[in-house]
A and B are shown apart, each in its own frame.
Chain A
Amino acid sequence: ETGVTQSPTHLIKTRGQQVTLRCSSQSGHNTVSWYQQALGQGPQFIFQYYREEENGRGNFPPRFSGLQFPNYSSELNVNALELDDSALYLCASSLRQGGNNEQFFGPGTRLTVL
């Protein structure tokens, strides 16, 4: 059983650019959530995807968008990057079954916006 993987590990962009981050869910999981973690803070929920549909969104602007693919892998896209977008971006996968909400996190992608 493979865990959650994310790519790339690190990324440096300049303000105004666009970025795509990728996540492969843990085997057998059908739900993926994305979080933004600023330095010294807890993760903040961006959105969740279930069966390729967005299923809940946090307080993030529309320039944050996502996709989930039939194999349950996922992308996070951020347009018009701002300096405050510099953070660790985490994806978490889970299996929507019964009353289970256990989410398993990947190692994250560290994004720096200059």
Chain B
Amino acid sequence: QKEVEQDPGPLSVPEGAIVSLNCTYSNSAFQYFMWYRQYSRKGPELLMYTYSSGNKEDGRFTAQVDKSSKYISLFIRDSQPSDSATYLCAMSPLSYDKVIFGPGTSLSVIP
């Protein structure tokens, strides 16, 4: 079993839809949770960074962490064609520790 699992998609939604992206993990030591967006042939761009369980909102993006279920989610409201990218979940056990990434979910938002 991989440490971090993520549905690779591809996921295709119409413009304006609410998008839900999810990851599960097996290592209960993970405490820091991140979501990155990666456009084709570019480096990952940090979207959300959360510590432990709970919700965090930033504009159209909401990150949720449920440590009891080892499950994290990213919601994108009012999705735009510019949101079309690969979304990577990532996590680490300690501050400054190595970051473990999921394989990424490819998202297409159709105008």
Known: A42-B88, A42-B103, A45-B99. A101 touches B32 (CB 8 A): yes
**Contact A106 B43, beta carbon cutoff 8 Å:** yes
**Contact B97 A100, beta carbon cutoff 8 Å:** no
Q: Which of A32-46 contact B (CB under 8 A)?
A: 33, 35, 40-45
**Contact A107 B44, beta carbon cutoff 8 Å:** no
* Chain B residues with CB under 8 A of A103: 46, 99
* Chain B residues with CB under 8 A of A101: 32, 49, 92, 94-97, 99
**Contact B88 A50, beta carbon cutoff 8 Å:** no
**Contact B98 A58, beta carbon cutoff 8 Å:** yes
A interface residues with partner B (beta carbon < 8 Å): 4, 31, 33, 35, 40-45, 48, 50, 55-56, 58, 90, 92, 94, 96, 98-108, 110
Known: A43-B44, A105-B45, A107-B43. A99 touches B95 (CB 8 A): yes
* Chain B residues with CB under 8 A of A92: 99
Size category of the B interface is 20 to 34
**Contact B98 A33, beta carbon cutoff 8 Å:** yes
Q: Which of B63-104 contact A (CB under 8 A)?
A: 88, 90, 92, 94-104
**Contact B96 A50, beta carbon cutoff 8 Å:** yes
* Chain B residues with CB under 8 A of A98: 95
* Chain B residues with CB under 8 A of A42: 4, 6, 88, 90, 101-104
**Contact B96 A43, beta carbon cutoff 8 Å:** no
**Closest CB in chain B relative to A21 CB, distance in Å:** 13
**Contact B102 A107, beta carbon cutoff 8 Å:** no
**Closest CB in chain A relative to B3 CB, distance in Å:** 11
* Chain A residues with CB under 8 A of B103: 40-42
Complex Cα spacing A106 to B49, Å: 18
**Closest CB in chain A relative to B89 CB, distance in Å:** 8
Among A4, A31, A108, the one with the most B-chain Cβ atoms within 10 Å of its Cβ is A108
**Closest CB in chain A relative to B24 CB, distance in Å:** 14
Complex Cα spacing A55 to B94, Å: 13
